[in-house]
């Protein structure tokens, strides 16, 4: 795991723990032994710690979390990391961290314990622990403020945001940046062998830094950036303002501030002890345990269970089911999207953003022009935010082309249909795609609710057809449902899944049925929100209850944003498939019939001003709601927040149980990941089913029976769990 070599009195310790050089207890032991050996080796004057040619380390091995069962385990884990990095810092011979790639978490804490740090120009740094609900436990809360100052350190520690090498050098996090040459494909540093990679050249670059009469200093003893009391007070004031916005279930940000404050007000050693203590406190919270559960669950969603829905089980007469498809590697060379509405445009953006050439076909030239304008606007926004250079923008734009014809899509490896959510329209488009494309082309539908068996119709090669359901806006939302039919080839599923991962999405494998997974569960939840309106709840109260529960926005605001007409149309499809869901909402139907479609008409459940999407009281919607209540003999009695929350959350749970009973999702954890990524269900609650289990299944089932007696069979428990 640690390669030990000596050249020109410089000892190079190279981390070699593929694929990511994650830091385990065993690697820590080897690192400490290697540091001690180098200190006793008379041939060595200085030490360089580095990783692979383009990657230093991804930080601590996350599997260590699985071994933490109690506070003592958490404290021990933190102490072992702290002690190992103390060995590095206390080396009598200077230690340089020569880093590349993404330097994250404990990898950055290791670099901070070294006496000097050098990086390539493309290196990035961040402390992502707070996103898992924990604090850094390997000295990061103590060394980072001493290197870059409390304000910059707290900013990194509390947000998990990433900084680049230039910013790191400006802050003092790195001592020197090894530049990339203007010529040649490799990363070459000055005075290094021509054509050598930075794996080799960071070593002489580090040697020159050591020869520059730089005096090694222990990070723990550096105080020059801690002396400005006013700056420190301002940093903590800013941190406290951020803490005021954090939910009480999530304690990590407050614990991070506590550890940093202890280190500044007392001592470095006191800060390390506090860091261990608060790490154990964070690990003991349900919110942190749920975030970690989802972290591991997300890694499993692309792995199918061995079940018939994921293999090529049926074939037309005379066919073996073996197609000349894209190879198992899943490397789609080019793609096409049919339909350039908002979803088609977003899918195209996601594809070209990952370097996949795409042609977009739409019969409407104005739609193509509008879509391309959105593509350019999105990329230009990334340039303004520093995420793309102008050259990268031009290269990315060069990957997309548009057409009103069909021939241009014929050679694509994958064609994604993304036209209006209508069975006949989609079947017509899919038939034309199959007619124009060769047998090796994979065909996917972006349908959000329609059963794929209905869309497959008379396809010649049903083995190559599946669903790839993106979520709006497709270029930003992280989830893609990979929907499989009984006839779908395993190779097709594997290839589509690999593409989803390549474009930065989390694929979740789902079996075919109307609504699939996310919409199957989420649309009944939205419908329940409208029924609460009919029974007397006010729109603002419904939305406020769900925001208080942890959703980023309430269901009614969300439907105004998505379009009430789209919700009513989707609900109609779902009602046909699942009569027990109950009929359509009279409030939603009347709003749509009278032209109140949401933000796009400046009037829906709420009212909106031009250019301002702040939801406001809508008298027109209020009159519609009142008329529906009167027609149904419901006077509009107030419903308290707890009851609103109970009904909406348990409607999610009830439908999730049915989804699992039917085998739509392979694992409970797959469902939980999909609902968190696809709907904004609060991650600190772990997902719909994790929430139900944490609440107690007996208690949940009892409440569902109670709600079913009062409100109907949509709440009735099924045989699952």
pLDDT band at 196 (very low <50, low <70, confident <90, very high): very low
Please give the Cα distance from 716 to 490 (Å, whole number). 36
Grade residue 212 by pLDDT with cuts at 50, 70 and 90.
confident
**Residue of 275, 434, 481, 514 marked catalytic:** 481
pLDDT at site 328: 35
pLDDT classification of 191: cutoffs 50, 70, 90: very low
Range(s) of the domain holding residue 710: 519-715
Residues 606 and 699 in one domain: yes
Within this chain, do residues 252 and 387 fall inside the same structural domain, yes or no?
no
Distances (CA, A) of 608 to 323, 588, 603, 624: 52, 17, 6, 17
641 plus 622 within the same structural domain: yes
Answer whether residue 434 shows pLDDT above 70: yes
| 17-21, 155-159, 630-634: range with highest mean pLDDT | 155-159
Nearest-angstrom CA–CA distance, 399 and 357 = 5
Q: What is the DSSP letter of 46?
A: E
Q: What is the DSSP letter of 663?
A: T
User: Average pLDDT for residues 124-131, to the nearest whole number?
Assistant: 97
Confidence band of 204 (pLDDT split at 50, 70, 90): confident
Same domain for 493 and 535, yes or no, is: no
Give the separation between CA 435 and CA 433, rounded to whole angstroms.
5
Predicted confidence (pLDDT) per residue in 573-583, tens digit: 999 999 999 99
Q: Which of residues 198 and 229 earns the better pLDDT score?
A: 229
Classify the C-alpha dihedral 669-519-517-312 as positive or negative. Answer: negative
pLDDT of the residue at 210: 82
Alpha carbons 572 and 68: distance in angstroms, whole number: 48
Task: Point out the domain boundary residue: 222, 253, 274.
Answer: 274
Decide if 304 is inside a domain. Answer: no
* Residue 234 shares a structural domain with residue 359: no
Looking at the domain assignment, is residue 720 inside a domain?
A: no
Name the band, by pLDDT with cuts 50, 70 and 90, for residue 304: confident
pLDDT exceeds cutoff 90 at 475: yes
- Please indicate, yes or no, if residue 297 is contained in any of the structural domains: no
State whether the Cα torsion 402-407-411-417 is positive or negative.
positive
Helix (H) / strand (E) element for 456: namely helix 452-456
Neighbours of 296 (CB within 10 A): 14
Domain assignment present for residue 294? The answer is no
Res. 64 pLDDT band, cuts 50 70 90: very high
Q: What pLDDT is attached to residue 332?
A: 94
488 in the same domain as 391: yes
270 and 213 in a common domain: yes
Phi and psi at 109, nearest 5°, equal: -65, -35
pLDDT tens, residue by residue, 519-560: 999 999 999 999 999 999 999 999 999 999 999 999 999 999
Report the pLDDT averaged over residues 320-347: 76
Average pLDDT score, the chain: 92
Does 268 share its domain with 336? no
CATH number of the domain enclosing 375: 3.40.50.720
User: According to the model, what pLDDT value does residue 322 have?
Assistant: 47
Burial per residue of 482-498, b for 16 or more beta-carbon CB atoms within 10 angstroms, e otherwise: bbbbbbbbbbbbbbbbb
The angle, 0 to 180 degrees and rounded to 10, between the axes of the packed helices 71-89 and 25-40 is 20
Q: At what angle do helices 140-148 and 106-113 cross, to 10 degrees?
A: 60
Is 389 considered catalytic here?
Answer: no
User: Whole-prediction pTM value?
Assistant: 0.92
Q: Answer whether residue 177 shows pLDDT above 70.
A: yes
Q: Is the backbone of residue 21 left (phi > 0), alpha (psi -120 to 50) or beta?
A: left
Q: Is 10 a member of any domain?
A: yes
Do 547 and 578 fall into the same domain? yes
Q: Are 481 and 467 in contact (CB under 8 A)?
A: yes
Whether residue 259 has pLDDT greater than 80: yes
Is residue 299 included in any domain, yes or no?
no
Read off the tokens for 707. Answer: 């709600």
Alpha-carbon Rg for the chain in angstroms: 28
* Structure confidence at residue 107 as a pLDDT band (50, 70, 90): very high
Q: How far apart are CA 205 and CA 118, in angstroms?
A: 8
Query: Pick the residue with more confidence: 659 or 209?
Result: 659
**CA–CA distance, 585 with 225 (Å, rounded to integer):** 61
Percent of the chain with pLDDT strictly greater than 70: 93
One of 55, 198, 469, 581 is an active-site residue; which one?
A: 469
Identify the pLDDT of residue 179: 79
Provide the 10 A C-beta neighbour count for residue 623.
12
Tokens of 394: 């031009």
What's the distance, CA 676 to chain centroid? 10
Q: What is the CATH number of the domain that holds 530?
A: 1.10.1040.50
Whether residue 222 sits in one domain with residue 82: yes
Mean pLDDT, range 138-165, rounded to an integer: 97
Q: How far apart are CA 464 and CA 321, in angstroms?
A: 9
Contact 655, 649 (CB under 8 A): no
In this structure, are 542 and 396 located in the same domain?
Answer: no
CA nearest to 230, candidates 149, 312, 340 = 149
Give the Cα separation of 642 and 545 in Å (integer).
8
| pLDDT at 628 > cutoff 60 | yes
User: What is the C-alpha separation between 62 and 24, in angstroms, rounded?
Assistant: 9
Q: What is the CATH number of the domain that holds 63?
A: 3.90.226.10
Is there a contact between 139 and 84 (Cβ–Cβ < 8 Å)?
no
Cis bond upstream, residue 19 (ω within 30): yes
Residues of 509-534 as b/e, b for ≥16 C-beta within 10 angstroms? bbbbbbbbbbbbbbbbbbbbbbbbbb
Instruction: Count CA atoms closer than 13 A to 341's CA, side-chain side.
Output: 10
Residue 307 bears catalytic tag: no
Taking only the tens place, the pLDDT of each residue in 352-383 is: 999 999 999 999 999 999 999 999 999 999 99
Residue ending a domain, choose from 512, 530, 553: 512
* pLDDT score at 164: 94
583 plus 667 within the same structural domain: yes
Q: At what angle do helices 518-535 and 619-631 cross, to 10 degrees?
A: 80
* pLDDT value at residue 515: 97
Helix (H) or strand (E) holding 417: strand 414-417
Q: What is the pLDDT of residue 330?
A: 53
Q: Is residue 296 part of a domain?
A: no
Element (H, E) at 217: none
Q: How confident is the model at residue 306 (pLDDT cuts 50, 70, 90)?
A: low
> Is residue 326 scored above 50 in pLDDT?
no
Give the CA angle between residues 18, 20, 26 to the nearest 5°: 65
Instruction: Say which of 78, 489, 512, 519 is annotated catalytic.
Output: 519
Backbone CA torsion sign across 518, 716, 294, 329:
negative
Task: Tell me whether strands 176-178 and 124-126 are parallel, antiparallel or unpaired.
Answer: unpaired
481 a catalytic residue: yes
Report the candidate in 154, 168, 163 with the shortest Cα–Cα distance to residue 232: 154
49 closest CA partner among 63, 65, 38 = 38
Between CA 108 and CA 592 the distance in angstroms is 54
The answer to whether position 16 is within a domain reads yes
| 207 or 137, higher pLDDT | 137
Asked whether 85 and 110 are in contact (CB, 8 A), the reply is: yes
- Look up 519 and say whether it is catalytic: yes
The stretch 115-138 carries a mean pLDDT of: 96
Q: What six digits make up the tokens of 628?
A: 């529906």
Q: Answer whether 464's CB lies under 8 Å from 452's CB.
A: no
What number is the average pLDDT over the span 623-632? Answer: 94
Residue 181 has a pLDDT of 54
**Number of independent structural domains in the chain:** 3
Single out the residue in 494, 512, 530 at which a domain terminates: 512
- Tokens, residue 158: 């509390």
pLDDT, tens digit (0-9, with 9 covering 90-100), for 335-348: 999 999 999 999 99
Using CA atoms, how far apart are residues 453 and 407, in angstroms rounded to an integer?
A: 26
Point out the catalytic residue in the list 448, 451, 654, 669: 448
Torsion of CA 676, 679, 680, 683, to 10 degrees: -20
**Nearest CA among 466, 406, 401 for reference residue 435:** 406
């Amino acid at each position: 795991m640690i390669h030990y070599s000596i050249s020109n009195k410089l000892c190079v310790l190279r981390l070699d723990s593929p694929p990511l050089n994650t830091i385990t207890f065993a690697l820590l032991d080897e690192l400490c032994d290697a540091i001690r050996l180098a200190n006793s080796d008379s041939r060595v004057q200085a030490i360089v710690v580095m990783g692979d040619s383009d990657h230093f380390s991804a930080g601590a091995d996350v599997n260590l979390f699985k071994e933490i069962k109690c506070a003592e385990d958490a404290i021990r884990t933190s102490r072992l990391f702290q002690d190992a990095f103390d060995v590095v810092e206390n080396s009598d011979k200077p230690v340089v961290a020569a880093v590349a790639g993404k330097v994250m978490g404990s990898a950055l804490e290791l670099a901070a314990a070294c006496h000097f740090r050098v990086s390539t120009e493309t290196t990035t740094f961040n402390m992502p622990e707070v996103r898992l609900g924990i604090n850094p436990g390997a000295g990061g809360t103590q060394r980072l403020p001493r290197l870059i100052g409390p304000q910059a350190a707290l900013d990194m520690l509390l947000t998990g945001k990433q900084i680049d090498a230039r910013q790191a050098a400006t802050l003092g996090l790195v001592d020197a940046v090894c530049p990339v040459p203007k010529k040649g494909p490799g990363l070459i540093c000055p005075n290094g062998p021509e054509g050598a990679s930075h794996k080799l050249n960071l070593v002489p670059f580090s040697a020159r830094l050591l020869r520059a009469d730089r005096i090694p200093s222990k990070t723990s003893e550096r105080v020059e950036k801690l002396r400005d009391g006013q700056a420190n007070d301002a940093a903590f004031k800013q941190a406290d303002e951020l803490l005021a916005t954090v939910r009480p279930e999530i304690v990590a940000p407050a614990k991070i501030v506590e550890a940093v404050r202890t280190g500044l007000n007392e001592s470095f050693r006191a800060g390390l002890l506090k860091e261990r203590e608060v790490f154990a406190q964070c690990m003991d919270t349900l919110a942190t345990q749920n975030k970690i559960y989802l972290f591991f669950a997300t890694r499993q969603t692309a792995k199918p269970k061995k079940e018939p829905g994921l293999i090529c089980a049926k074939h037309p007469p005379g066919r073996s089911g073996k197609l000349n498809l894209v190879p198992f590697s899943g490397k789609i060379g080019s793609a096409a999207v049919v339909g350039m509405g908002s979803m088609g445009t977003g899918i195209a953006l996601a594809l070209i953003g990952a370097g996949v050439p795409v042609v977009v076909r739409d019969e409407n030239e104005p739609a193509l022009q509008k879509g391309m304008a959105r593509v350019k606007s999105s990329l230009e926004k990334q340039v303004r935010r520093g995420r793309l250079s102008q050259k990268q923008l031009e290269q990315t734009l060069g990957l997309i082309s548009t057409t009103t014809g069909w021939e241009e899509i014929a050679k694509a490896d994958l064609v994604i249909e993304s036209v209006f959510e209508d069975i006949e329209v989609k079947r017509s488009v899919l038939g034309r795609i199959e007619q124009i494309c060769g047998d090796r082309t994979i065909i996917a539908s972006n349908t959000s609710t329609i059963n794929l068996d209905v869309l497959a119709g008379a396809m010649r090669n049903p083995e190559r057809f599946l669903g790839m359901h993106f979520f709006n806006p497709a270029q930003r939302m992280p989830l893609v449902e990979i929907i499989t039919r009984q006839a779908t080839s395993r190779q097709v599923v594997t290839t589509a899944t690999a593409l989803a991962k390549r474009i930065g999405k989390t694929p979740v494998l789902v079996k075919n049925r109307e609504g699939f997974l996310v919409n199957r569960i989420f649309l009944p939840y939205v419908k329940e929100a409208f029924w609460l309106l009919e029974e007397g709840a006010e729109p603002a109260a419904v939305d406020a209850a769900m925001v208080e529960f942890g959703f980023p926005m309430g269901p009614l605001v969300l439907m105004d944003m998505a379009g009430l007409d789209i919700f009513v149309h989707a609900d109609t499809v779902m009602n046909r498939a699942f009569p027990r869901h109950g009929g359509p909402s009279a409030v939603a139907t009347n709003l749509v019939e009278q032209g109140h479609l949401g933000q796009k008409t400046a009037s829906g459940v709420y009212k909106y001003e031009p250019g301002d999407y702040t939801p406001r009281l809508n008298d027109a919607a209020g009159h519609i709601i009142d008329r529906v209540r009167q027609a149904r003999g419901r006077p509009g009695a107030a419903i308290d927040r707890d009851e609103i929350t109970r009904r909406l959350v348990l409607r999610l749970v009830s439908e999730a149980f049915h989804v699992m009973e039917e085998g739509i999702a392979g694992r409970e954890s797959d469902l939980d990941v999909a609902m968190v990524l696809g709907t904004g269900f609060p991650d600190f609650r772990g997902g719909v089913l994790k929430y139900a289990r944490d609440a107690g299944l007996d208690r949940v089932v009892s409440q569902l029976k109670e709600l079913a007696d009062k409100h109907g069979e949509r709440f009735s428990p099924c045989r699952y769990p």
